[in-house]
Structure 1
């Protein structure tokens, strides 16, 4: 279990984390959410002993991380997938970590198989894609078979198959009784993965509850009700009946009604009593993203403004108008048009030569018939070879490639 009590971290005049207290319990996936700059990464670094708290403390299994005996066998973490020497292969990187922690070499091959990197285990990591780097970082976290795992943006750069794999891996690790702490900005993924949420904003705790309660407390549930579109009298009759029963009714843009304050069975009963036919009666519950945005709206430090593009859209004197997906618009004034409505010599994507002239149109003067090539220009005189070619060793030539 991870436990933070009064955790505070200051960098000069800036307070990154202030009086933060929470628990991450085993047997569940705990999501760690917050806007950029809210202190999530700083908190994780303090958990792992990489940063010293200004005040308060955080423990793993009852001990500060630095006092854990053979900590890599008890805690695994992925904070920065790029923290790998690019000249080492995936297997060499994991072997170094294993030797430092007294982990047998066979475990390296096991985790390479778990993350799906067997086929590239002996390739240098500098050639890895972002998703492959993430898999290597997860392998390093799993290396010691730890009971506590911390992941910072573990699905960053992964394809849909990889995201599904990480999601199932987190759930499996939690089902084995491990403590799983995951930081992510992907609300849709957290909604499918996390059982519990810890939300912070500007370094302070905003919420510590399970996902269902978090959505319920930070959203307004309502019912969508729709009457026949061609019968406005029925819509008005139902609105009146729902209002008299204590419901709040608001019109939606698509013609439906948004009803709050009444459960669905009561809405159905009132519609039946008023002799109103219903085309739709459905519940609406906010998503995790909607609930998160509502809670953290006052804790966001970086907000964008509308791009006014002032003065940037005016035409430049002396320049022909531009347009189209490829920088031209057929038929625009100021551009000479060839056959087919395109500038002469235009080569469209997917074509090896300019498009053929439409039937009934003669080719432009000087243009060879379709399917024939123009006469080749005289070949340039051969140039003299260089005085001497550099002597490259085998290693140098491989690096040059």
Structure 2
């Protein structure tokens, strides 16, 4: 089990984690959610003893990580899949970790097989794809057959088959009674993988509950009701009957009704009593993503804005050549200090007809743009 009590971490004037308290229990996959910059990675680093908390404490299996006897045999973690020695093969990387923790060499081949990297075991991770690097990181986390596992974005870079494999692996590890703590930004994947959620924003705890309770607490369930489109008077009749029964009714753009405040059986009874035929009566529950966005909308530090393209239009215009300035009459005289005449393009523009070599340009010709071939640039 992982337990944090009053966990706080400050970097100068910035408070990354602010009095955070929670428990991650064994036997379940616990999702760790929060916007970018909310303190998730900092929290995981403090759990693993990589960062010291400013105040508060966090324990793993009842002890601070640094005081665990042979910690790699008790805790496995994937925080950065790129944290490998580029000159070693995948197998040698895992073998070095195993020897440091007193793990038998045969375990290296076992975890390489578990993650599907046995065919590239003797290749260097520097040439691995992002997904292959993630698999190697998961293999390192599983190396000691630990009871506590932490994963930061474990499905990053994986293909659909790999994502399904990670999902099933997490569930299988939790089913064995292990503690599984997973951070991810993929809400759809968390909805399928996690049993429990810990949500933070700006370093503070926002929610600590099951996935089902989290969705119910941060969304408004409603029923979708549709009457025959050819008889709009039935929709108005049903709306009046539902409002009288205590429901809140909103009209959808496609002609359906959104009914809140009454369960589906009661809506059906009201429609039957009003002698209104129903074409549709279906429940709607918000997704984890919708509930998460509603919960964290006030805790987002980095927001995108509309692309104000109007301000970029001046840079989108192609460069054009301007006609040269007038050639001085005393061509043979010494050149003036300003040598703008050397920066001009002798070619005529589309608005000026071609001229003979000795002809002077029009008097209103504008000077050419300076560029990288100017004398100053030389």
TM class by shorter chain equals 0.7 to 0.9
Q: State the shift of 1:86 in Å.
A: 1.4
**C-alpha separation between the residues in 2 aligned to 1:113 and 1:30?**
26
2:266 corresponds to = 266
1:41 corresponds to = 41
2:132 corresponds to = 132
Q: State the shift of 1:238 in Å.
A: 0.3
2:302 corresponds to = 302
Q: State the shift of 1:316 in Å.
A: 3.4
Higher alpha-carbon Rg? 2
**C-alpha separation between the residues in 1 aligned to 2:317 and 2:175?**
64
Q: State the shift of 1:313 in Å.
A: 4.9
Q: State the shift of 1:85 in Å.
A: 1.2
**C-alpha separation between the residues in 2 aligned to 1:269 and 1:125?**
64
TM-score, L = length of structure 1: 0.78
Q: Secondary structure at the match of 1:140?
A: helix
**C-alpha separation between the residues in 1 aligned to 2:287 and 2:31?**
15
Q: Deviations over 1:48-79 (max 9, x none)?
A: 00000000000001000000000000000000
Q: Deviations over 1:75-109 (max 9, x none)?
A: 00000000011111100100000000000000000
Establish whether residue 179 from structure 1 lines up as the match of residue 179 from structure 2. yes
Q: Deviations over 1:332-376 (max 9, x none)?
A: xx9xxxxxxxxxxxxxxxxxxxxxxxxxxxxxxxxxxxxxxxxxx
**C-alpha separation between the residues in 2 aligned to 1:287 and 1:132?**
30
2:21 corresponds to = 21
**C-alpha separation between the residues in 2 aligned to 1:169 and 1:254?**
42
Q: Secondary structure at the match of 1:289?
A: helix
Q: Secondary structure at the match of 2:238?
A: helix
TM-score, L = length of structure 2: 0.83
2:149 corresponds to = 149
**C-alpha separation between the residues in 2 aligned to 1:236 and 1:282?**
19
Q: Secondary structure at the match of 2:310?
A: coil
2:246 corresponds to = 246
2:100 corresponds to = 100
**C-alpha separation between the residues in 1 aligned to 2:311 and 2:187?**
38
Q: Deviations over 1:235-278 (max 9, x none)?
A: 10000000111100001111110000111011111111111111
Establish whether residue 4 from structure 1 lines up as the match of residue 4 from structure 2. yes
**C-alpha separation between the residues in 1 aligned to 2:84 and 2:200?**
30
Q: Secondary structure at the match of 1:50?
A: coil
1:292 corresponds to = 292
**C-alpha separation between the residues in 1 aligned to 2:138 and 2:181?**
13
**C-alpha separation between the residues in 2 aligned to 1:270 and 1:102?**
70
Q: Deviations over 1:98-122 (max 9, x none)?
A: 0000000000000000000000000
2:226 corresponds to = 226
Q: Which runs of 5+ in 1 are unaligned?
A: 320-333, 335-401
1:63 corresponds to = 63
**C-alpha separation between the residues in 1 aligned to 2:116 and 2:40?**
29
Q: State the shift of 1:312 in Å.
A: 3.9
1:329 corresponds to = none
Q: Deviations over 1:183-220 (max 9, x none)?
A: 00000000000000000000000000000000000000
1:316 corresponds to = 317
Question: Alignment RMSD, CA only?
Answer: 1.3
Q: Secondary structure at the match of 1:151?
A: strand
Query: Hey, which bits of structure 1, 4+ residues long, moved more than 3 A?
Result: 311-319
1:83 corresponds to = 83
